[in-house]
Structure 1
Amino acid sequence: MEKSNNKFIFCAIGIFISYFYFGILQEKITRGKYFYETVDENGNKIIETEKFVYVLSLVFIQCLINYIVTYATLHLWPQKEDKTSTLYYVSISTTYLLGMVSSNMALQWIPFPTQVIGKSAKPIPVMILGVLIGRKSYLLRKYIFVLLIVAGMVMFMWKDKPAGKVDSAFGIGELLLILSLTMDGLTGAVQERVRAESSPSGHQMMKATNGYSTIFLISALIVTGEVFTFFKFANRHPYVVYNLLALALTQSVGQMFLYVMVSDFGPLAVSIVTTTRKCFTVLASVLFFGNSLSIRQWYGAALVFLGLFLDIFFSKGKQSSKKKGKEDTKKLLDSK
């Protein structure tokens, strides 16, 4: 028992440290200002500032590192043959990519805490698509918990408009978050079909998904020309490359800890750890990057996390078996 507790604590600390540092790096890269020296038309040296807008490059590095890590893992610990259809993995990779790209792109318009709170609402599209496409039914309390999450999101993301000015409460950043959540829901729906038909392991799905995503992104980087503009940006700011590599590595390491925890302790334990981690990520963003929150936003965040914790607590009876935990591994990994 003591050995099991020590392993749980070790994995929980690994998840906290990995994703805590991941959140700091992600905000530092996407929300930071980059200074460089240039010369004006009179030959005078001036300091210019620019922002990181190379989302395809960021996601490409993440997918590539994820693929390398899972490839090495499967090479060291071989598993049964994965007989999943290529079409399924192409579909998963497409929605997975759109979800990641739109989520990271949203940070150009919204603060990092808003993105974290928004991504915490993944149960909403999963439930909606489960009812509409999968013809699933849920208990009344499930709808109540999701309603709490929706209410909290609206409170947190609603924009205070200046007096006399009539604007939409939701802007480009919020719409990109909604797109990202929709893609998350579609990804989960296809993954459910894959698990029912061929039952690949979490690492096999992670490897295939990131492999196809890497190929798609290479094409997108060339077609859009971002590969060339990113190289110029990286040449002006070399340290951003190290930050991107560190970002991808912390994500991969975090996912490895998640896989071990969900296999040994089940998805309930993972959900509690990761939801708690998101609370601390929001606090870190406020403390380290000066993202101040209004009283209404604090109440909204509290409602979101309350809905998540209640859903976790009342779902524990259905999530207790190790077999169920292994089946849910990839779903949990994709939601982090």
Structure 2
Amino acid sequence: MRGKIVAGVVTVSCLLLILVFARIYQKLLTAYEQSGKLVETEYAWVILLLLNLAGYAIILLPGLILYKYLDKSNYFDKIGTKTSCIYRSLFACFGDPGEKIPESVKAQRAEETPRKEALELAFCFIGLMGAYLIWGLLQEKIMTQTYVMPDGALVRFNESQFLVFVNRLSALLLALCRLLYSRQPLVCAPLYKFSYCSLTNIISAWCQYEALKYVSFPTQVLSKSCKVIPVMLMGKVISRKKYELYEYVTAVMISLGMMLFIFGSHDDNGVSTVTTMSGLTLLALYIMCDSFTSSWQSALFTRYGCSSLQMLCAVNLFSVCLTASALLQHAGSAHYLRLLQTPMFVWDCLLLSLSSTLGQLLIYRTIARFGAVVFTVIMTVRQAVAILLSCIVYGHYIFPSGIVGIILVFLAIFLGVYCRQRTRKRRAANV
């Protein structure tokens, strides 16, 4: 009984801390917005990043304090009554049931044939291509179009974090409804473990947008095309994965091929090539956070056997909480809520959210079935195909180095598939 009372007091104290941190964050944000000099400096992104982290800390710091208390006090071992609502809620958030891959998942993986695997891979690739093509077009439309309000006023939307919140909220609701309808467990692993990849996912998205203020678009695309090697290194650190020699070779070939292709498939005279230290730092943060996100999700899939819907629900639960904690303190958020009176804006947001949700589902499905490295390769090839289509449609000239680069990328993919099948046959023969 005493343990329950103490746990209740600590939980209420953490909720009060959320209110205190929210008040502090609001004052910091107001002070930054009123200081003109800080906003205009080249390194204003550092202050913005720290402010974003302060906004996320409203949720994360009280949660960390509660987790530390439960861990130090051995709360889950000492409490006798384990059917109470408080215990089940705390255990869902912070209790670790251990490794538990369902037998149905193991059987499904064992029964896969090369033909089924190839069809599944093709489905994921085509789905990701379509979902993110639509998502990109709608995002550009929302961020650049002027909307007409019912009173005739013209309003331009430019709050990226609001779009992230809407996308994550729709994905959370869709996943939650689907899990309840199919009567699947809502929680497949301790919820706090999903906060890591949720946080790095939000930070990487912010760094990606912010970097465009300091580097050219081709430079950003080039950084994305070289993510295969960082993802492999992150996999070794997080999951202690061992990669075959051919996987390192194909990773280098893909990165080199994309570099040649990007440098040889755009007009240097029409694109700004300005690159600053701030831009390079933001790109480095983006690559690091994005590599951690997919590698950590792959580790959760491997250990707990989560479904794509469970991953979608848990990750977006934290994403909604983190983005909402920052948006609620922003003075300009109420201004953008007025746009919800415009049917065209609402329709664009719904379509954007739908394409984003489908894209996230396919991302988690790809990572769960093939791993973080294969997913990164698919997204790299997607960028190459998008650039190639742009060159064909708009008549851009592709230099010989660009042609060599795209050939090298697809050669690396076919080499990876061939070596993977050979390795599987060799292992099967040795069993």
Normalised by the length of structure 1, the TM-score is 0.66
1:64 to 154, 169, 176: 169
Could you report, residue by residue, the CA deviation over 1:84-128 in whole angstroms, capped at 9, with x for unpaired residues?
123211212111211223234445566767655543443222112
**Aligned-residue identity in percent:** 24
Q: Using a 3 Å threshold, how does the CA distance of structure 1 residues 294 and 199 change in structure 2: closer, same or farther?
A: same
**Counterpart-to-counterpart distance in 2, 1:80 and 1:49:** 43
In 2, Cα distance between the equivalents of 1:186 and 1:98?
11
Matches of residues 77-116 of structure 1 in structure 2 within 5 Å?
Answer: 77-80=182-185, 82-107=187-212
- On the 8 A contact 2:239/2:299 being kept in 1, the answer is no
Counterpart of 1:179 in structure 2 is: 285
The alpha carbon displacement at 1:282 in A equals: 2.8
Q: Compared with structure 1, are the counterparts of its residues 135 and 277 closer, same or farther at alpha carbon in structure 2 (3 Å cutoff)?
A: closer
Deviation of 1:280 after TM superposition, in Å, equals 3.9
Question: For residues 65-214 of structure 1, what are the structure 2 equivalents within 5 Å?
Answer: 65-80=170-185, 82-107=187-212, 118-152=223-257, 154-155=259-260, 156=262, 169=275, 175-214=281-320
For 2:399, the aligned partner's letter is I
Q: Secondary structure at the match of 1:76?
A: helix
Aligned equivalent of 1:317, options 398, 404, 421: 421
Amino acid at match of 1:184: D
Computed over aligned residues only, the root mean square deviation of the Cα atoms, in angstroms, reads 4.7
Larger Rg: 2
1:255, distance to aligned residue in structure 2 (A): 4.5
Cα pair 2:391 2:398 within 8 Å, conserved: no
Q: How do residues 218-237 of structure 1 correspond to structure 2 at under 5 angstroms? A: 218-231=324-337, 234=339
The answer to whether the aligner puts 1:282 opposite 2:387 as a matched pair is yes
Q: Who is 1:295 aligned against?
A: 399
Deviations 1:279-314 (A, max 9, x none): 4433455578x7967738845962784476257525
AA at the equivalent of 1:75: L
> What amino acid maps onto 1:29 in structure 2?
I
Q: Which amino acid aligns with 1:317?
A: Q
Alpha-carbon distance in structure 2 between the residues aligned to 1:109 and 1:296: 29
Q: Is the 8 A contact 1:114 1:157 kept in 2?
A: no
Using the size of structure 2 for normalisation, the TM-score is 0.54
| Cα 1:260/1:198, change in 2 over 3 Å | closer
Mapped partners of 1:190, 1:12: distance in 2: 21
Which residue type is aligned with residue 151 of structure 1? Answer: L
Give 2:182's aligned amino acid: W
* Pairs aligned (count): 300
Indicate yes or no: 2:140 matched with 1:27.
Answer: yes
Quick one: distance in 2 between partners of 1:254 and 1:319? 31
Alpha-carbon deviation of 1:64? 0.9
Structure 1 unaligned spans of 5+: 38-46, 321-336
Q: Distance in 1 between matches of 2:124 and 2:243?
A: 31
Contact 1:275 1:305 in 2 (8 A): no
Match of 1:53 in 2: 158
Structure 2: gaps spanning 5 or more residues:
1-115, 425-431
1: CA distance, partners of 2:304 / 2:323:
26
Structure 1 residue 216, shift from structure 2 partner: 0.7
Query: What amino acid does structure 1 have at the position aligned with 2:167?
Result: Q
Q: Secondary structure at the match of 1:84?
A: coil
CA distance in 1, matches of 2:168, 2:267: 37
